[in-house]
């Protein structure tokens, strides 16, 4: 039951098939070397408050007590590249993940008594999910995501209805979001922004899967991301960064700050908040008294409300299926 | 599996009975004047002793001991490493050291001026936890995130200090950079959520960290002055207005809300009844025209362990009390903080999340002029950094 | 539980269980009841899931939906779903410690390569030879790296985060050995050649056939070198598991490899590295050898222990001929998988003239299947091949 220690180098992993012992290198594209060789930057075509479409479906995995599959609609640049392929380098990527819930089931005998339902979350990227090949063993960022997700869900589950039991929630990410546009060198504000979009997707999908497993919740909790982006090539231009909902990092030159929330609309409460970055320079409309971080949080909540409508539709379908079996 | 569970939520729940929890909650949520078990004011920190430069083999180190006996030691080591560049030398070796700290998407491209977040590596060792358990991973990601997230500032004279923040400071030239290893060691099993202790100690250690003076110029292979006396602080000592240090490493504060109160540096018992727990990272903001003395770097919610506690049973539902005359106050009321029906004096595990207004209030208490954040940074400046 | 209430019940309480509960409590009896309908009804045997014994589940495949892969496929066989992504990375021959030793063998390939280019007939024998060398190259350098993961929450038995289970390990290895033995991928697709510039006259290359021998002695044109290999990381995630993971996994591997495009790559002398072109029109698809299709079967026995108990039973042969007490089920689902001990897995391909070629045949556990049965199953598998071919061609 123990995980292997986090050795990135899988060469010693005898339980898997390893590649050449000499190690391999990812391909280097010639166009990448020429400065400015990359011509068409991905550009956001949506309004700042428009979200990408979310495809969410529950109950696809019959062996699990609850399951869901979530997909973000590709942003316009990616959709163009798909319909009319020119370059092998994808301009952007769109989240795809599957989520399963097993349980509630009795806790193992060795476990300590718990008066509440014990939630275990597990997030893993497929090796081919990101631009850089991921290892088979969970790395720090994947564990970190798991903790965030656990926090987000535990606030929503009515845990005391299942004493001495546990549920295992597993998310497999088949395609992750980029952290920046591929040809950009990481700049001052570089961070793993894509992870925040992934977390928002995880929260929404997990919530659907938990509902599919018929576990009582206070409300459906959905995830949303808002980001502060500056699209100007000149770093110190007067133009202040703008607030964008559901920002695809590949479509922006620089993301200054981002915030992801897990939000329950019925109670107007946040179960999980993760904000990072430089938020102080935000440009708000005149008369807006909010401070930058408040605006970011509000933006993320708006995005989560958007995701919530998709989520409740998916859960409604689940219920209809349960009521009228085929 | 089961050993891992709950590790993330502010760690071990103390074995308090529902009655004790309820008592604690009531006294901490008293409007405006919470009563803490140890008599502190809501914003007061526990007394601590601190010293720096205790480990001669490191570039910088610090030790902080809390009055309850928990101690943390942080050592910072720096190594010179070749920068992986694509555009210039096309040297696409995979990361030379194979040190995957899990920073996603570092790819083969890398920055010349910006520095890279993965150059700062942090490991946290907590007795009783495996180093890949949720708690140490979560803590190190949280602290690293604010460290590499803080970027340089233009101070009021327009001169740039530490452009690019810590990441930028690590750049030597186009082909070489420093790699910083921050090793955090907690010396005993944590008695409370160890974040404040670890964050303060890391702060002091970084403040005392020196890098040898660079003797080479430009794009040469770097070589350094071996005279330790002329070594330069990684966070330069530039005094700003009112004799405070301009550039400071960030500090992560643990803040809880109980009822309407915002409480800092909570003990384990206090966290156990919290409605919400936030980790807020701040640093000094010296930007011209900024109204606040502090800049927000990151906020993370931490799962309040109060969700996992055992509920109390109100008399009306207690089988042993059947037939006993119900006292008058045993009537459910609506708790203003949680919006749920509760019987006063009977503990209910917390459910749901936090209201946005509560979060805003907590952040404000940290950031405002003369607020807790400033106080903490000033207090840390008092520690003699030699 | 007879009712003990004082009032006489209007309707006698039913002792029967709803089918779903019966299926859980007595899985063996439940399936048996389905497969052996009362003789009187004259119904054919039908499986609990409504399929005929040798009927496969509905299969669908979808290719190229994952952005960060060179080729990808999703294959669903009933409720079992496998996602396969192929990622190509480069292995520089400079990095291979033993490369200079192995090079001698590459020279002969080199020769044949040139022969082929010249339009000379490559004999059957030569082809065979090349195949062997392909296999050696791919195997020795481990250029194909398949890994299957079941820890995706696909079924309650497989813990996420745990090291790969024995099932996952054995399927990974089966896929690897099948990739090697079927020689599906041509090693030449994976080679990145470099022609060192010839400082002599340019026309050298053209007139090899006239007086080649002489020239070869005096001023041999510098041989082409292999500078790098593509390594294909083939990762299979079983997203949903309801029996028979191997067929789904293998189908997804084949579909993903069919979808795989490798960028045009060349050795860049100035940078001393391999560069790729991101132009889609320059990229080439893998040329696969054939289209192997896997079909798995399990054997369900009415009384599994009968064989053990029996002294030589005179009518054992008899019983077998009747086909009673034992059913071969194609493409077992999770429920049937748990009840069967004997499994057969057959991988077949069809040549252009419609001849079926068996690439792999494996039978484990139990003893009830004989040669005749196997022959029948090969026929079933080759029918399955036609089905799968259509599905592959659509995606």
- The pLDDT score that the predictor gives to residue B324 is 62
Cα separation values, A34 from A183, A234, B107, C263, Å: 11, 20, 17, 18
- The pLDDT score that the predictor gives to residue B93 is 37
- The pLDDT score that the predictor gives to residue A231 is 72
Q: Which residues of chain C have a CB within 8 Å of the CB of A96?
A: 65-66
| C271: contact with B, CB 8 A cutoff | yes
Complete domains list, chain A, with CATH: 48-320 (3.30.230.70)
- The pLDDT score that the predictor gives to residue B156 is 43
Note whether A107 and B2 are within 8 A (CB). Answer: yes
Q: Which residues of chain C have a CB within 8 Å of the CB of B1?
A: 159
The CATH number of residue B294's host domain is 3.30.230.70
- DSSP for residue B104: T
Which residue in chain B has the smallest CA separation from C95? Answer: B93
Compute how many other C-beta atoms are within 10 angstroms of the C-beta atom of residue C65: 19
Query: Six-digit token pair at A249?
Result: 């990092």
**Which architecture characterizes domain C59-288 according to CATH?**
2-Layer Sandwich (3.30)
- The pLDDT score that the predictor gives to residue C43 is 77
Query: Six-digit token pair at B266?
Result: 């909570």
pLDDT band at B154 (very low <50, low <70, confident <90, very high): very low
pLDDT band at C231 (very low <50, low <70, confident <90, very high): very high
Contact A35 B353 (CB under 8 A): no
Domain ranges of chain C: 45-56+295-393, 59-288
Q: Is residue B319 part of a domain?
A: no
- The pLDDT score that the predictor gives to residue C321 is 46
Q: Is residue C142 predicted with pLDDT exceeding 60?
A: yes
Query: Six-digit token pair at B205?
Result: 């250690």
Q: Which of B243 and A182 is assigned the larger pLDDT?
A: A182
Q: Which of C252 and B136 is assigned the larger pLDDT?
A: C252
Question: In chain B, how many domains are there?
Answer: 1
β-bridge pairing C71-77 and C80-92: antiparallel
If we measure between CA atoms, which residue out of A318, A323, A308, A221 comes closest to residue A262?
Answer: A221
> Which of A38-47, A189-198, C24-33, C233-242 has the highest mean predicted lDDT (pLDDT)?
C233-242
Compute how many other C-beta atoms are within 10 angstroms of the C-beta atom of residue C156: 15
Which residue in chain C has the smallest CA separation from B132? Answer: C161
- DSSP for residue B315: G
**Which residue among A107, A119, A271 sits closest to B352, beta carbon to beta carbon?**
A271
Query: Which long-range contacts does C95-100 make (Cβ < 8 Å, 24+ apart)?
Result: C95/A22, C95/A23, C96/A20, C96/A22, C96/C141, C97/A22
pLDDT band at C314 (very low <50, low <70, confident <90, very high): low
- pLDDT tens over chain A, length 326 residues: 333 333 344 456 788 998 888 888 888 888 766 554 455 677 888 888 999 999 999 999 999 999 999 999 998 888 888 888 888 888 888 999 999 999 899 998 888 888 889 999 999 999 999 988 888 888 888 999 999 999 999 999 998 889 899 999 999 999 999 888 777 766 666 778 999 999 999 999 999 999 999 999 999 999 999 998 887 654 454 567 888 999 988 888 888 899 999 999 999 999 999 998 877 766 666 667 788 889 999 999 999 999 999 999 999 998 898 887 65
Distance (Å, whole) CA B279 – CA B195 = 8
Q: Which of B107 and C371 is assigned the larger pLDDT?
A: C371
Q: Which of A9-18, A274-283, C243-252, C286-295 has the lowest mean pLDDT?
A: A9-18
Compute how many other C-beta atoms are within 10 angstroms of the C-beta atom of residue C3: 11
- The pLDDT score that the predictor gives to residue C54 is 93
Note whether C345 and C374 are within 8 A (CB). Answer: no
User: C123 CB contacts (<8 Å, ≥6 apart)?
Assistant: none
Domain around B58? 2-312+347-381
- ipTM metric: 0.89
Q: Is residue C324 predicted with pLDDT exceeding 70?
A: no
Distance (Å, whole) CA A4 – CA A131 = 24
Query: Six-digit token pair at A181?
Result: 């546009």
- The pLDDT score that the predictor gives to residue A153 is 95
User: B121 CB contacts (<8 Å, ≥6 apart)?
Assistant: B99, B101, B144, B179, B180, B181, B182
| B307: contact with A, CB 8 A cutoff | yes
Distance (Å, whole) CA A314 – CA A68 = 9
- The pLDDT score that the predictor gives to residue B130 is 81
DSSP reduced 3-state for B101: coil
Please give, rounded to a whole number of angstroms, the shortest distance from the CA of C271 to a CA of chain B: 7
Residues of chain C with pLDDT > 90: what percent? 43
The predicted-structure confidence for B33-59, as pLDDT tens digits, reads as follows 899 998 999 988 888 899 999 999 999
Q: Which of B38 and B154 is assigned the larger pLDDT?
A: B38
If we measure between CA atoms, which residue out of C335, C383, C389 comes closest to residue C56?
Answer: C383
Average pLDDT along chain B: 77
Compute how many other C-beta atoms are within 10 angstroms of the C-beta atom of residue B56: 6
Q: Which of B302 and A280 is assigned the larger pLDDT?
A: B302
C-alpha torsion sign, points B153, B156, B158, B160: negative
Q: Which of B49-53, B112-116, C339-343 has the lowest mean pLDDT?
A: B112-116
Q: Is residue B161 predicted with pLDDT exceeding 80?
A: no
Contact B92 C159 (CB under 8 A): no
Note whether B383 and B52 are within 8 A (CB). Answer: yes
| A31: contact with B, CB 8 A cutoff | no
Tokens 């040329």 locate to C287
Dihedral in degrees, nearest 10, Cα atoms C173, C177, C180, C182: -130
Please give, rounded to a whole number of angstroms, the shortest distance from the CA of C196 to a CA of chain B: 21
Q: Is residue C322 predicted with pLDDT exceeding 80?
A: no
- The pLDDT score that the predictor gives to residue A5 is 36
| A67: contact with C, CB 8 A cutoff | yes
DSSP reduced 3-state for C363: strand
The predicted-structure confidence for C143-174, as pLDDT tens digits, reads as follows 999 999 998 989 888 888 888 999 999 999 99
pLDDT band at B228 (very low <50, low <70, confident <90, very high): confident
Distance (Å, whole) CA A248 – CA A51 = 10
If we measure between CA atoms, which residue out of B265, B85, C67 comes closest to residue A77?
Answer: C67
Q: Which residues of chain C have a CB within 8 Å of the CB of B90?
A: 271, 273
- What is the pLDDT averaged over residues B161-176? 76
- The pLDDT score that the predictor gives to residue B65 is 92
Best mutation target among A154, A156, A182, A298 (most B Cβ atoms within 10 Å) is: A154
Buried b (16+ CB within 10 A) or exposed e, C277-294: bbbeeebeebebebbbbb
- The pLDDT score that the predictor gives to residue A12 is 62
pLDDT band at B249 (very low <50, low <70, confident <90, very high): confident
Distance (Å, whole) CA C251 – CA C73 = 9
- The pLDDT score that the predictor gives to residue A274 is 95
Q: Is-above-0.95 flag for pTM?
A: no
Q: Is residue B337 part of a domain?
A: no
Distance (Å, whole) CA C352 – CA C370 = 29
- The pLDDT score that the predictor gives to residue B239 is 67
Interfacial B residues in 150-179 facing A (CB < 8 Å): 151-152, 164-165, 167-168
Query: Six-digit token pair at A16?
Result: 């898997």
Contact A87 C79 (CB under 8 A): no
Compute how many other C-beta atoms are within 10 angstroms of the C-beta atom of residue B12: 18
- The pLDDT score that the predictor gives to residue C13 is 60
Residue A220: exposure state from Cβ atoms within 10 A (0-12, 13-18, ≥19): buried
- What is the pLDDT averaged over residues B198-220? 89
User: B343 CB contacts (<8 Å, ≥6 apart)?
Assistant: B314, B316, B330, B331, B332, B333
Cα separation values, B297 from A29, B141, C76, C140, C272, Å: 36, 14, 46, 51, 43
- What is the pLDDT averaged over residues C202-210? 48
Residue A192: exposure state from Cβ atoms within 10 A (0-12, 13-18, ≥19): buried
DSSP reduced 3-state for A90: coil
Note whether B336 and B235 are within 8 A (CB). Answer: no
- What is the pLDDT averaged over residues B260-272? 90
Q: Is residue B158 predicted with pLDDT exceeding 50?
A: no
pLDDT band at B157 (very low <50, low <70, confident <90, very high): very low
Q: Is residue B325 part of a domain?
A: no
Q: Which of B90-94, B377-381, C268-272, C329-333 has the lowest mean pLDDT?
A: B90-94
Q: Is residue B185 predicted with pLDDT exceeding 80?
A: yes
- The pLDDT score that the predictor gives to residue A264 is 95
Dihedral in degrees, nearest 10, Cα atoms B82, B83, B86, B89: -50
Q: Is residue C388 predicted with pLDDT exceeding 90?
A: yes
Phi, psi of A147 (to 5 degrees): -65, -45
Residue A164: exposure state from Cβ atoms within 10 A (0-12, 13-18, ≥19): middle
Cis previous bond, A255, omega within 30: no
Q: Is residue B143 part of a domain?
A: yes
Query: Six-digit token pair at A315?
Result: 């859960």
Q: Is residue B200 predicted with pLDDT exceeding 50?
A: yes
pLDDT band at B171 (very low <50, low <70, confident <90, very high): confident
User: A89 CB contacts (<8 Å, ≥6 apart)?
Assistant: A29, A31, A32, A182, C278
- DSSP for residue A8: S
Distance (Å, whole) CA A56 – CA A46 = 21
DSSP reduced 3-state for B304: coil
Interfacial B residues in 68-127 facing C (CB < 8 Å): 90, 92
Q: Is residue B77 predicted with pLDDT exceeding 90?
A: yes
Phi, psi of A125 (to 5 degrees): -85, 140
| B324: contact with C, CB 8 A cutoff | no
Distance (Å, whole) CA B121 – CA B147 = 10
Q: Which of A131-145, B120-134, C295-309 has the lowest mean pLDDT?
A: C295-309
Element (H, E) at B73: strand B71-82
Q: Is residue B331 part of a domain?
A: no
Distance (Å, whole) CA C105 – CA A112 = 62
Q: Which of A201-215, B371-385, C109-123 has the lowest mean pLDDT?
A: C109-123
- The pLDDT score that the predictor gives to residue C240 is 94
pLDDT band at B326 (very low <50, low <70, confident <90, very high): low
- What is the pLDDT averaged over residues B25-38? 89
C-alpha torsion sign, points B263, B269, B275, B277: positive
Q: Is residue B254 predicted with pLDDT exceeding 70?
A: yes
User: C42 CB contacts (<8 Å, ≥6 apart)?
Assistant: none
| A273: contact with B, CB 8 A cutoff | yes
pLDDT band at B164 (very low <50, low <70, confident <90, very high): low
Residues of chain C with pLDDT > 70: what percent? 77
Query: Six-digit token pair at C360?
Result: 């792999």
Compute how many other C-beta atoms are within 10 angstroms of the C-beta atom of residue C329: 26
pLDDT band at B316 (very low <50, low <70, confident <90, very high): confident
C-alpha torsion sign, points A108, A112, A116, A120: negative
- What is the pLDDT averaged over residues B78-85? 82
Q: Is residue C351 predicted with pLDDT exceeding 60?
A: yes
pLDDT band at B289 (very low <50, low <70, confident <90, very high): low
**Which residue among C85, C263, C273 sits closest to A128, beta carbon to beta carbon?**
C85
- The pLDDT score that the predictor gives to residue B100 is 36
Compute how many other C-beta atoms are within 10 angstroms of the C-beta atom of residue C71: 25
Measured in whole angstroms, the distance separating CA C378 from the mean position of its chain's CA atoms is 16
Q: Which residues of chain B have a CB within 8 Å of the CB of A147?
A: 8, 134, 137-138, 303
Q: Where are the beta strands (DSSP E) in C142-291?
A: 144-149, 191-194, 225-240, 261-262, 265-268, 273-276, 284-285
């Amino acid at each position: 039951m123990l995980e292997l220690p986090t050795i990135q180098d899988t060469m010693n992993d005898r339980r898997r098939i390893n590649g050449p012992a000499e190690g391999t290198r990812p391909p280097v594209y010639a166009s990448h070397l020429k400065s400015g060789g990359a011509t068409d930057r991905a550009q956001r075509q949506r309004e700042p408050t428009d979200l990408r479409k979310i495809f969410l479906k529950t109950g696809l995995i019959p062996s699990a007590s609850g399951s869901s599959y979530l997909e973000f609609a590709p942003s316009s640049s990616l959709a163009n590249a798909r319909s009319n392929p020119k370059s092998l380098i994808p301009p952007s990527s769109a989240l795809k993940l599957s989520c399963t819930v097993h349980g509630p089931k009795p806790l193992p005998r060795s476990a300590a008594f718990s008066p509440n339902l014990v939630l275990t979350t597990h997030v893993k990227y497929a090796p081919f999910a990101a631009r850089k090949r991921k290892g088979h063993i969970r790395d720090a960022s994947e564990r970190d995501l798991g903790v965030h997700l656990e926090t987000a869900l535990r606030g929503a589950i009515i845990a005391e209805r299942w004493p001495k039991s546990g549920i295992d929630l597993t998310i497999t990410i088949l395609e992750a979001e980029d952290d920046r546009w591929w040809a950009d060198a990481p700049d001052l504000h570089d961070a793993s922004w894509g992870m925040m979009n992934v977390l928002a997707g995880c929260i929404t999908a997990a919530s659907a899967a938990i509902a599919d497993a018929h576990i009582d919740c206070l409300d459906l909790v959905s995830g949303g991301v808002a980001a502060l982006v500056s699209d100007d090539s000149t770093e110190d231009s007067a133009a202040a960064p703008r607030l964008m909902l559901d920002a695809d990092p590949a479509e922006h030159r620089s993301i200054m700050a981002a915030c992801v929330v897990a939000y329950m609309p019925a109670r107007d409460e946040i179960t999980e908040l993760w904000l990072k970055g430089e938020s102080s320079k935000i440009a708000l409309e005149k008369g807006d008294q909010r401070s930058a971080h408040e605006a970011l949080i509000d933006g993320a909540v708006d995005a989560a409300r958007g995701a919530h409508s998709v989520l409740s539709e998916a859960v409604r379908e689940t219920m209809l299926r349960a009521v009228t079996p085929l | 599996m089961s050993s891992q569970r709950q590790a993330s939520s502010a760690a071990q729940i103390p074995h308090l009975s529902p009655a004790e929890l309820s008592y604690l909650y009531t006294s901490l949520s008293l409007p405006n004047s919470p009563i803490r078990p140890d008599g502190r004011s809501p914003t007061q920190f526990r007394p601590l002793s601190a010293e720096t430069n205790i480990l001669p083999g490191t570039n910088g180190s610090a030790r902080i001991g809390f009055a309850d006996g928990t101690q943390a030691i942080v050592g910072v080591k720096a190594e010179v490493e070749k920068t992986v560049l694509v555009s210039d030398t096309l040297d696409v070796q995979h990361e030379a050291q194979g040190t995957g700290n899990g920073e996603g998407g570092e790819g083969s491209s890398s920055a010349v001026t910006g520095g890279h977040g993965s150059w700062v590596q942090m490991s946290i060792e907590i007795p009783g936890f495996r180093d890949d358990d949720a708690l140490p991973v979560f803590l190190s990601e949280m602290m690293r995130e604010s460290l590499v997230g803080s970027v340089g500032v233009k101070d009021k004279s327009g001169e740039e200090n530490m452009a690019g923040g810590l990441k930028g400071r690590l750049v030597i030239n186009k082909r070489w950079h420093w790699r910083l290893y921050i090793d955090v060691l907690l010396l005993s099993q944590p008695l409370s959520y160890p974040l404040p202790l670890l964050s303060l100690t890391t702060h002091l250690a970084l403040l005392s960290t020196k890098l040898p003076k660079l003797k080479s110029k430009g794009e040469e292979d770097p070589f350094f002055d071996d005279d330790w006396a002329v070594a330069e602080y990684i966070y330069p000592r530039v005094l700003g207005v009112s004799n405070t240090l301009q550039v400071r490493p960030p500090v992560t504060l643990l803040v809880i809300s109980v009822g309407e109160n915002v409480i800092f540096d909570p003990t384990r018992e206090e966290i156990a009844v919290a409605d919400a727990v936030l980790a807020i990272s701040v640093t000094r903001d010296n930007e011209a025209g900024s109204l606040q003395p502090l800049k927000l770097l990151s906020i993370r919610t931490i799962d309040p362990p109060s969700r996992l506690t055992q509920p109390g049973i109100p008399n009306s539902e207690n089988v042993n009390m059947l037939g006993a005359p119900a006292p008058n106050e045993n009537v459910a009321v609506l708790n203003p903080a949680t919006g749920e029906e509760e019987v006063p004096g009977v503990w209910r595990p917390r459910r749901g999340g936090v209201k946005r207004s509560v979060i805003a209030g907590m952040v404000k208490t940290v950031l405002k002029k003369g607020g807790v954040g400033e106080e903490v940074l000033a207090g840390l400046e008092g520690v003699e950094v030699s | 539980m007879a009712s003990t209430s004082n009032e006489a019940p209007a309707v006698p309480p039913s002792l029967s269980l709803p089918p779903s509960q019966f299926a859980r409590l007595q899985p063996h009896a439940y399936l048996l009841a389905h497969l052996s309908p009362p003789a009187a009804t004259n119904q054919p045997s039908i499986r609990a899931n409504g399929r005929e014994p040798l009927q496969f589940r509905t299969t669908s495949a979808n290719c190229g939906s994952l952005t960060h892969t060179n080729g990808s496929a999703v294959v669903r066989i009933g409720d079992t779903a496998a996602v396969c992504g192929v990622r190509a990375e480069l292995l520089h021959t400079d990095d291979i410690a033993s490369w200079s030793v192995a090079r001698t063998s590459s020279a002969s390939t080199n020769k044949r390569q040139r022969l082929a280019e010249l339009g000379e007939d490559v004999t059957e024998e030569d082809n065979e030879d090349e195949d062997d060398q392909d296999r050696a190259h791919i195997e020795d350098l481990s250029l194909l790296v398949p890994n299957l993961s079941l820890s995706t929450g696909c079924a309650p038995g497989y813990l996420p985060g745990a090291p790969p289970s024995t099932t996952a390990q054995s399927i990974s290895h089966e896929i690897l050995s099948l990739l090697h033995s079927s020689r599906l991928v041509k090693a030449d697709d994976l080679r990145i050649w470099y022609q060192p510039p010839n400082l002599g006259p340019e026309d050298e290359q053209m007139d090899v056939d006239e007086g080649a021998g002489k020239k070869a002695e005096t001023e041999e044109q510098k041989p082409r070198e292999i500078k790098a290999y593509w390594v294909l990381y083939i990762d299979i995630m079983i997203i949903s598991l309801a029996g028979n993971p191997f067929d789904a996994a293998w189908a997804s591997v084949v579909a993903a490899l069919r979808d795989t495009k490798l960028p045009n790559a060349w050795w860049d002398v100035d940078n001393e590295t391999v560069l790729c072109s991101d132009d889609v029109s320059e990229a080439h698809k893998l040329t696969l050898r054939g289209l192997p299709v896997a079909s798995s079967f399990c054997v369900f026995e009415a009384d599994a222990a009968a064989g053990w108990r029996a002294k030589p039973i005179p009518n054992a042969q008899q019983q077998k001929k009747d086909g009673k007490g034992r059913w071969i089920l194609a493409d077992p689902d999770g429920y049937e998988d748990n009840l069967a001990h004997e499994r057969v897995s057959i991988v077949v391909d069809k040549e252009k003239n419609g001849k079926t070629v068996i690439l792999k045949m494996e039978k484990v556990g139990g003893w009830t299947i004989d040669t005749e049965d196997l022959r029948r199953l090969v026929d079933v598998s080759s029918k399955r091949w036609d089905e799968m071919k259509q599905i592959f061609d659509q995606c």
